[in-house]
Each structure stands twice: as C-alpha cells, then as structure tokens.
C-alpha cells in the first residue's frame, strides 16, 4: 500500500467545470471511528547531525516512512530519507539530477521511488530543467533507465512485488506509461492496453493499480480496466491513494473541489466539508484537506473526524499513525509521526 503526500497530488483546477452527471452513493457508515478514539501526540523521527528540517511524505506497512531532509539554505539540495523500524538513512540526491528530489512512494521493504530534477538554466526568467526517475538501492539513490527519446520521466509508485510505475513524454511528446519490472532489473517497458496518457498513482496490496488518465480515474487488475464513476455534477476526477479496495481522490462540481471516497464496489461518495482527499489506510482512515476552514483533516470513511493534529500531516499508515512534519518553537519543521495513543 502506498500513501502519497497531500501537497503533491493533482488538485482540480479551473479546467474542472460544472457540467455532466455521474454516480454517487453513500456507503454504510463505519463502526465507531478509531481516529475519534485516538489521542495524537507528535514524535520527532531521528535524523543525522546537521539536518535542520524535513518532512515525511510516504509510508508503507506500519513502520516504514520516506521523505526528505534539508541541511542548509536553498543553495543546499534536499536529500531523500528513509526511516525503517526506527532507523534513519540519508539516501542523498539523484546522480545527474541533484538539484531537487521528490518522494512519491516507498515499499514495505524500504525501496523509495520518486523524481530528481536537473536544472539547465532559465528562459524568459523561468527556470528550465528536466526530471529523472529514481529508486533507492543499498542506501543511495540511482536513476532508472528510460526509453530512447523519453524525457521528464517520473517514478510514481512501487507495487508490493517491487514493480515500479512511472510516466513521461516519449520522443513524440506524447505522455506514456512506463514500467520497471522487478523481475527484470535495469529494464523499462511501455505497457499497452491502458488509456492514453495514463499515470499509475498508487498500487494496492493485491496489485490493483490506481490510474489517472486525462479527466478520469480507473482501476486495473489482472488485465481488466474499470472506470470509476464521477460524483454527481463533476466532470473530472483524480485518484490519489488506494488501500484494501477503497480509493480516495478529488473531484469538483460547480467549480468547487471536494474529496471523494470510492468504496469497495467502486461507488463514489463525497466527503463532507472536504477540499481534497490524499491518503487512505487499510482501515479506511483518510487524510486530506477540509474546505472550511482550509487545513489538514481526517475522515473515517465518510464520517468527518475534524482537524488533523497538525497542519503538516500528509499521510497515514496501516497502524493508524499519521505522518508529516512538526514545527516546534525555535526550530524549522522536522519529520514527525503521530501514533494513535
């Protein structure tokens, strides 16, 4: 199971307009919420000497976290970081793409995947550069191979068996889906039979792929593609996370974005007072943003649980532990978790 950072997910923009129709169903209400019974207290994760700030952006299982850490000002590149069973590993930067690093996913075995950035200058005052996919191996990052002519390739998700999924532009500037098979290290293939422009955003424990393509979201398993319904009034959806057969993401109606839960039957439900939903765990605990007031918030399936215990809570693991960053007076935001106590 993958939990992705809230702030990196595709929020719906002005391109999402109020029109069309879809299906919306309210699943049965959950049993009394585990989140409601929790007393969350922040716990700072260990870091190496010299680290002055950092964030957790991805989780796997119950004790694996991935994120980034910083050791200086804007001139010092961020490093990828892994915490597994309480042990911190500074994974460094991506060789050949050291200027920035984005953490997209981590597996239960501790393999981190994401994207490095290489700056090439600026044009008209705007920075220019290219993105490169990476994975971690033996305590460091390495670039993943890309097809000839491909550019701006990102690694988005890793499956339980180690397959890595990403996307980028091919030589003709068409968006393509790429797969780095675990059984064939050092190779990359272009899967077929997926919607044009597909990106695999997350992978469930049973191998189900959560996919965005254009304005729609899909699930793919064992060669079968299922189109997820749009909530009533929405013309666009973006899936963000899947766990135990349930998925969450965002949609919009009448120009207003909101969070969506797709239940195990694929039916869509609007999350109350939500702006977007970014992560869900196997028990149905959801992390996202509330609409009013705007800020990090929690839901247990479709039942709102109120504000998250901190503004920088980004994700949740299968133990119900929240993760992100915590600001302590006199410091910058540091990597942190909030166990359910």
As a whole number, mean pLDDT of residues 23-45 equals 62
User: Do 318 and 218 lie in a common domain?
Assistant: yes
pLDDT of residue 26 exceeding 70, the answer is no
Query: At residue 249, does pLDDT exceed 70?
Result: yes
Q: What is the pLDDT of residue 286?
A: 98
- Domain range for 207 is 43-239+314-338
Residue 228 and residue 294 in one domain: no
Does the pLDDT value for residue 27 go beyond 50?
Answer: no
Supply the mean pLDDT for the chain. 90
Q: Is the confidence at residue 21, as pLDDT, over 50?
A: no
Residues 143 and 269 in one domain: no
Distance CA 79, CA 92 (A): 5
pLDDT for the residue 72: 80
pTM for this structure? Answer: 0.90
Work out how many domains the chain is built from and give that number: 2
Residue 247 resides in a domain: yes
Tell me which range, 4-18, 20-34, 116-130, is most confidently predicted by mean pLDDT. 116-130
Instruction: State the pLDDT confidence band at 35, using cuts at 50, 70 and 90.
Output: low
pLDDT at 58 over 70: yes
User: Are residue 273 and residue 320 in the same domain, yes or no?
Assistant: no
Is residue 13, in this structure, part of any structural domain at all? no
CA nearest neighbour of 302 among 22, 24, 27, 38: 27
Residue 13: what pLDDT? 29
Q: Do 232 and 247 share a domain, yes or no?
A: no
- Tens digits of residue pLDDT in 287-314: 999 999 999 999 999 999 999 999 999 9
Q: Which of 132, 129, 117, 113 is nearest to 67 (CA)?
A: 113
- Among the ranges given (5-14, 74-83, 131-140), the one the predictor scored with the smallest mean pLDDT: 5-14
For residue 320 the two structure tokens come to: 């119900």
- Residue 28, token pair as written in the block: 């049965």
Strand partners for 91: none
pLDDT band at 74 (very low <50, low <70, confident <90, very high): confident
Q: Write down the pLDDT at residue 28.
A: 35
pLDDT at 36: 64
Within this chain, do residues 166 and 230 fall inside the same structural domain, yes or no?
yes
CATH number at residue 322: 2.130.10.150
**25 found inside a domain:** no
Percent of the chain with pLDDT strictly greater than 70? 89
- Tell me: pLDDT of 9 over 60: no
pLDDT at residue 10 in the model: 43
Q: Are residues 209 and 300 in the same domain?
A: no
- Tokens standing for 51? 């680290």
**Does any domain span residue 160?**
yes
Q: Give the per-residue SS3 of the chain.
A: CCECCHHHCCCCCCCCCCCCCCCCCCCCCCCCCCHHHCCECCEECCCCCCCCEEEEEEEECCCEEEEEEECCCCCCCCEEEEEECCEEEEEECECCEECEEEEEEECCCCCEEEEEEEEEEEECCEEEEEEEEEEEECCEEEECCCCCCCEEEEEEEECCCCCEEEEEECCCCCEEEEEECCCCCCCCECCCCCCCCEEEEEECCCCCEEEEECCEEEEEECCEEEECCCCCCCCCEEEEEEECCEEEEEEEECCEEEEEEECCCCCEEECCCEEEEEEECCCCEEEEEECCCCEEEEEECCEEEEECCCCCEEEECCCCCEEEEEECCCCCEEEEEECEC
More confident residue, 69 or 232: 69
Measured torsion, CA atoms of residues 207, 208, 209, 212, in degrees rounded to the nearest 10: -170
Please indicate, yes or no, if residue 11 is contained in any of the structural domains.
Answer: no
Q: How far apart are CA 271 and CA 250, in angstroms?
A: 10
Q: What percent of the chain has pLDDT over 90?
A: 83
């Amino acid at each position: 199971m993958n939990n992705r950072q809230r702030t990196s997910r595709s929020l719906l923009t002005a391109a999402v307009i109020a029109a069309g129709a879809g299906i919306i169903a309210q699943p049965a209400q959950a049993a009394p919420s585990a989140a409601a019974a929790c007393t969350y207290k922040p716990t700072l994760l260990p870091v190496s000497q010299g680290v002055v700030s950092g964030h957790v952006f991805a989780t796997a299982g119950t004790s694996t976290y991935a994120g980034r850490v910083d050791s200086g000002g804007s001139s010092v590149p961020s490093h990828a970081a892994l915490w597994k069973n309480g042990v911190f590993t500074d994974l460094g930067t991506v060789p050949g793409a050291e200027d920035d690093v984005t953490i997209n996913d981590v597996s239960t075995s501790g393999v981190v995947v994401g994207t490095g950035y290489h700056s090439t200058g600026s044009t008209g005052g705007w920075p220019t550069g290219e993105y490169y996919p990476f994975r971690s191996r033996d305590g460091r990052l390495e670039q993943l191979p890309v097809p000839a002519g491909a550019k701006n390739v990102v690694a988005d998700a890793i499956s339980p068996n180690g397959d890595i999924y990403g996307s980028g532009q091919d030589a003709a500037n068409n968006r393509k889906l790429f797969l780095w098979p675990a059984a064939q290290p050092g190779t990359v293939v272009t899967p077929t039979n997926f919607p044009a422009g597909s990106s695999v955003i997350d992978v469930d424990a049973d191998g189900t792929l959560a996919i965005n393509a254009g304005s729609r979201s899909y699930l793919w398993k064992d060669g079968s593609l299922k189109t997820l319904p749009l909530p009533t009034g929405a013309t666009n959806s973006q899936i963000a996370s899947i766990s135990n057969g349930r998925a969450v993401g965002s949609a919009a109606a009448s120009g207003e974005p909101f969070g969506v839960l797709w239940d195990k039957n694929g039916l869509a439900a609007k999350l109350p007072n939500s702006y977007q939903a970014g992560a869900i765990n196997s028990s149905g605990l959801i992390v996202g943003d509330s609409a009013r007031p705007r800020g990090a918030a929690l839901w247990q399936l479709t039942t709102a649980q109120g504000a998250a215990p901190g503004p920088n809570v980004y994700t949740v693991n299968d133990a119900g532990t929240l993760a992100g960053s915590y600001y302590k007076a006199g410091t910058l935001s540091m990597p942190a978790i909030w166990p359910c106590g």
